[in-house]
């Protein structure tokens, strides 16, 4: 469950969407522990940035924790959510809203912009999964359980060479800000590894993606890479499938990000997803009979507490993961302090940044390694698993752990 994907956002004027989640009551729980207020910022409702499933999964995890795990050491988890709509103005307004609400800590779902300086001035740490802008990587008050675009693109380059044996690849990429940021990160990593490439770029919503693959293809290429997301996932998968059926020179593996492994994309393209490989894990949550305890918990909790029911793709898993990992760190600190109720947000953050041996990221089971990249101190996890589509909606794990540190350090 790993990082991706956007670099800049639209500068539209934001109308804030603020909701009380019902994850916790305002009154203290039995035993006198005060509620613990967690701020949640996310981008929703914008044509370019709309990730409601991220917030919904955080809410489901909070409801589960309050109902089954006594919140955080007896403190009810109370969420205060705010919609940035993917703009800087919205981020600033959300920061003030969460400060006024008394948030102890802020979970950055996928807000695109994060007002790190404002939160830092108020003494409120930020925890997230997907660093996007340069300030996300360098903020002193932030910790991210993913390496963002630099980590994902470097991991894809390593996977292409070491796991697929690629010596030359064809790349199709959108020219939107996300693609414009990701593409040089990918090509720089390929250059460092000595993998040759041919690039074809197109718009956000091409009527036909086959010309892009034709332009990127080289008879000697060993694989394709797509840097498209959203509707571009279905478009590129369908186009390559069409080409594979008519010309064997296109029948080669393709690699893309976890955004294209969502349920909606796979349901739309069906078996056209054959021989596509995806950065990011989450494969265990797709298995009804999984033996992984975190995946079992996720499936049962989402069925009961998520307003959309069980969702196993997209940003639902990272959302649930973000709340549960943060809660685990909080409980560990509370137990060390020997006090009833949740510790302070700063104490939780300080513990996360110290890389405690007994805390791992929920579902992926990655150990924290904050500071692994000195020039990106907010990054605490870099490694990425990879999966590939098999058939009938099923995936297989093709690489348990690709560590991009050698290309980033």
| Cα–Cα distance for residue pair 223/293, rounded to 1 Å | 35
Q: Give percent of the chain with pLDDT exceeding 70.
A: 91
C-beta neighbour count of 363 within 10 angstroms: 23
The CATH number of 149-284+384-408, from 1.20.120.1690, 3.40.190.10, 3.40.50.2300, 3.40.50.620, is: 3.40.50.2300
d(C-alpha 379, C-alpha 85), whole Å: 24
Same fold, 18-148+291-353 and 149-284+384-408: yes
Separation in Å, CA 401 to CA 47, 58, 128, 309: 34, 25, 20, 29
φ and ψ at 384, to 5 degrees?
A: -130, 130
Task: Give the model confidence (pLDDT) of 130-170 as tens digits.
Answer: 998 889 999 999 999 999 999 999 999 999 999 999 999 99
Tokens of 92: 């600033």
Q: Which uninterrupted H or E stretch holds 62?
A: helix 52-68
Question: How distant is the alpha carbon of residue 389 from its chain centre?
Answer: 19
pLDDT of 283 reads 73
Q: Which has more pLDDT, 100 or 10?
A: 100
Give the residue ranges of DSSP H helices in 101-209: 116-121, 134-138, 148-158, 177-193
Tell me the pLDDT tens digit for each residue of 318-359.
999 999 999 999 999 999 999 899 999 999 999 999 999 889
DSSP label at 374? T
| Confidence at 286, pLDDT banded by 50, 70, 90 | confident
157 vs 159: CA distance, rounded Å: 5
Superfamily grouping for domain 18-148+291-353: Response regulator (3.40.50.2300)
Spell out the domain ranges in the chain: 18-148+291-353, 149-284+384-408
Q: Residue 18 pLDDT more than 70?
A: no
For position 327, what pLDDT does the model report?
98
β-pair partners for 170: 198, 224
Of 43-57, 61-75, 248-262, 356-370, which has the strongest mean pLDDT? 61-75
- Residue 281 pLDDT: 66
- What are the backbone angles phi and psi of residue 287, rounded to the nearest 5°? -95, 115
Distant-in-sequence, close-in-space partners of 374: CB < 8 Å, separation ≥ 6: none
Give the DSSP H/E element, type plus range, for residue 254. Answer: strand 254-256
Q: Is 38:79 a contact under the CB 8 Å cutoff?
A: yes
d(CA 379, CA 403): 13
The yes-or-no verdict on residue 231 having pLDDT over 90 is: no
Say if residues 11 and 88 touch (Cβ distance below 8 Å): yes
Q: Which of 7, 68, 2, 15 is nearest to 44 (CA)?
A: 15
CA separation, residue 57 to residues 19, 40, 104, 266, 403 (Å): 15, 11, 20, 20, 27
């Amino acid at each position: 469950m790993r990082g991706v994907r956007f670099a800049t956002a639209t500068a539209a004027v934001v109308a804030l969407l603020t909701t009380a989640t019902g994850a916790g009551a305002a009154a203290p729980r039995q035993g006198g522990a005060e509620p613990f207020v967690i701020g949640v910022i996310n981008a929703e409702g914008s044509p370019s940035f709309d990730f409601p499933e991220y917030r919904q999964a955080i809410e489901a995890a909070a409801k589960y924790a309050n109902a089954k795990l006594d919140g955080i050491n007896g403190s009810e988890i109370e969420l205060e959510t705010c919609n940035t709509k993917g703009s800087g103005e919205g981020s600033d307004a959300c920061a003030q809203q969460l400060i006024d609400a008394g948030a102890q800590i802020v979970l950055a779902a996928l807000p695109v912009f994060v007002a790190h300086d404002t939160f830092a001035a108020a003494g409120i740490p930020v925890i997230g999964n997907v660093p996007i802008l340069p300030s996300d990587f360098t903020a002193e008050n932030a910790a991210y359980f993913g390496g963002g675009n630099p980590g994902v693109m470097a991991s894809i380059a390593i996977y292409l060479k070491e796991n697929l044996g690629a010596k030359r690849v064809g790349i199709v990429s959108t020219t939107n800000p996300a693609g414009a940021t990701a593409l040089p990160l990918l090509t720089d990593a390929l250059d460092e590894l000595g993998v040759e490439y041919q690039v074809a770029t197109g718009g956000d919503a091409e009527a036909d993606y086959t010309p892009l693959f034709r332009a990127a293809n080289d008879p000697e290429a060993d694989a394709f890479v797509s840097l498209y997301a959203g509707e571009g996932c279905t478009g590129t998968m369908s186009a390559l499938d069409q080409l594979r059926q008519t010309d064997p020179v296109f029948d080669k593996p393709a690699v893309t990000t976890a955004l294209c492994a969502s349920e909606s994309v796979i349901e739309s393209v069906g078996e056209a997803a054959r021989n596509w490989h995806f950065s990011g894990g989450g494969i265990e949550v797709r298995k009804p009979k999984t033996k992984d305890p975190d995946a079992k918990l996720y499936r049962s909790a989402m069925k009961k507490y998520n307003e959309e029911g069980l969702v196993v793709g997209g940003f639902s898993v990272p959302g649930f993961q973000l709340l549960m990992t943060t809660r685990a760190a909080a409980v560990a600190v509370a137990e060390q302090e020997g006090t009833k109720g949740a510790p302070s947000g700063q104490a939780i953050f300080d513990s996360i940044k110290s890389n405690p041996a007994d805390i791992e990221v929920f579902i992926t089971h990655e150990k924290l390694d904050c500071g692994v990249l000195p020039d990106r101190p907010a990054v605490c996890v870099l490694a990425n698993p990879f999966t590939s589509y098999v058939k009938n909606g099923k995936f297989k794990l093709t690489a348990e752990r690709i560590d991009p540190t050698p290309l980033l350090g």
